Structure 1
């Protein structure tokens, strides 16, 4: 059994990614993602995504701030605090620009209801980061970094005939974003190496759950999900 501080046979990140390989493939095969690449994604679905993502990022920024509060080292505290600020900046700048291109505004997006998948995802995320260990919280927030980086890099190679979708792909395929993600994945390796086998397995469960929520988030946008009652 792994004990705290012991070395492991392989990096924790390999364990994590292996667990979500089928989810990652399902995301790449989802019609929302394939529609971004070939330009056939309906504007209404993309608009739904942007609106819900603006809601999501507000709570994601809170989750990152909580990770900063629990982080073991000063450098990690600063990094997560910076990422929290960056998440809010993305909501204010990038989403406002996309909404303008879609004929709306950031204020209009903020006034629209938080959807079921968004509410479920952010509620789970905040509950995990509040109530769990630092490793639990890190594992819960990691899919939003890592899956977007992987999807962005793979879509960047294919690009899109639609300039709006091409701009979204470029934002997540960009090296500046990729370097941030490498830093968080490296932190997961360091933190996982210091955890027990039971702690690693528990955190992995959160990682898989929020990865599933990532798929659900795109699927909700594709279906333009609303509350049933």
Structure 2
């Protein structure tokens, strides 16, 4: 989606991670329909829990921004993360017969807790460019995965619904806005600042792979 500017550099830093994501059996199972439903169910519940803290991280990104336009955008995206994606999750919950109470009582899996804890720490304590680096992969990788899978389609209506959401133009417009903001905000960074933003971007990109792997392995607490 972006080859120029700082975001182009960021994407090139995770090309291997992104390739591993596309090759993961969870992702491949969405398009060929082979993904077991219990693994998708586990993923969806954990994703709903994740979004509560991701929305908080987006709100913090807005608060940390020196740009009022970014403040408004991130606040709108935080609301959208809760409203739009919750609507998608609720449709899956109905399919699986899961209640909101069950979701609330489900503990975060270790990977989910580690990912959200890292996001909130960077959003609270990191410099603004690090915050942008940390929140960007959840937007961008989902958009790229969604578009890649949209070309393949899925024989499973449930999985096709997920693919259509993230591969659709509405979600891609949000991602383009964040990419443009990141390029503007990071244009004058010195080498150390660029390295810090890149480290945050790579770290949460790794967590994205781990999140799908969490769904695939039905990850829970061992003790």
Q: TM-score range by the shorter chain?
A: over 0.9
CA distance in 2, matches of 1:179, 1:197: 30
Q: Structure 2: which 5+ runs fail to align?
A: none
Shift of 1:91: 4.8
Number of aligned residue pairs: give it. Answer: 220
Quote the residue 2:48 is aligned against.
54
Shift of 1:85: 0.6
Q: How does 1:202-221 map to 2 (within 5 A)?
A: 202-221=196-215
**Equivalent in 175, 179, 183 of residue 181 of structure 1:** 175
Quote the residue 2:12 is aligned against.
18
Checking the alignment, whether the CA contact within 8 Å between 1:92 and 1:106 is kept in structure 2 is: no
**Correspondence 1:34 to 2:16:** no
Quote the residue 2:93 is aligned against.
99
**Correspondence 1:166 to 2:192:** no
Shift of 1:92: 3.2
The list of structure 1 runs, each at least 4 consecutive aligned residues, that deviate by more than 6 angstroms after superposition, is none
**Correspondence 1:223 to 2:217:** yes
Q: Structure 1: which 5+ runs fail to align?
A: 1-9
Checking the alignment, whether the CA contact within 8 Å between 1:58 and 1:91 is kept in structure 2 is: no
TM-score by length of 2: 0.96
**Equivalent in 66, 81, 95 of residue 87 of structure 1:** 81
SS in 2 for 1:228: coil
Shift of 1:94: 1.5
Q: Once superposed, what is the RMSD of the aligned Cα atoms? A: 0.9
1:50-87 Cα offsets, whole Å, 9 max, x none, are 01001100000000000010112111111000001111
Q: How does 1:185-204 map to 2 (within 5 A)?
A: 185-204=179-198
1:150-197 Cα offsets, whole Å, 9 max, x none, are 000000011100000000000000101001101101111111212111
**Equivalent in 140, 144, 169 of residue 150 of structure 1:** 144
CA distance in 2, matches of 1:179, 1:92: 19
Checking the alignment, whether the CA contact within 8 Å between 1:68 and 1:79 is kept in structure 2 is: yes
CA distance in 2, matches of 1:215, 1:224: 14
Checking the alignment, whether the CA contact within 8 Å between 1:51 and 1:110 is kept in structure 2 is: no
Checking the alignment, whether the CA contact within 8 Å between 1:54 and 1:110 is kept in structure 2 is: no
CA distance in 2, matches of 1:194, 1:56: 32
TM-score by length of 1: 0.94
